[in-house]
Amino acid sequence: MIAFFRSRIASFGHAFHGWAYVIRTQKNAWIHATLTTLVVILAFWLQIPARDWATLVLITAVVWSAEFFNTAIEAVVDLASPVHHPLAKVGKDVGAAAVLIAAGAAVLIGLLLLGPPLWNKLSPFFGF
């Protein structure tokens, strides 16, 4: 039983090491982190309902997961193909495309969920 818990703790340690690697080495992760922070602050300020929070949390997890998978793909491709190979490029490009699709969906969802309440809060300042 103790071995089971030790292995679970070690698994969490590996996951946090992977997380730290992405944050430390991937420039786009900093963009995601900045935008995630801004969206969370904006959502708190707008006092969005729990249903909208759930959607924001889900799409944020999708974007971050895509970034993590992309980083993993890049590392494995670099290991398997240290020289430039057309298929290695395809693997990396497709991984990057997955992040782009997730980020695009996040922008659309953010506009749909945060746009109307933001408009309602700001429109009095512009005389609308």
Backbone φ/ψ region at 83: left (φ over 0), alpha (ψ -120 to 50), beta: beta
Distance of CA 119 to the CA centre of its chain: 25
First to last CA, the chain: 65
Which tokens in the block code for residue 35?
């935008």
Q: Angle 36-42-45 (CA atoms, 0-180°, nearest 5)?
A: 145
Active-site entry in 67, 77, 95, 113: 67
Active site residue 74: no
User: Which sequence positions are flagged as catalytic?
Assistant: 67
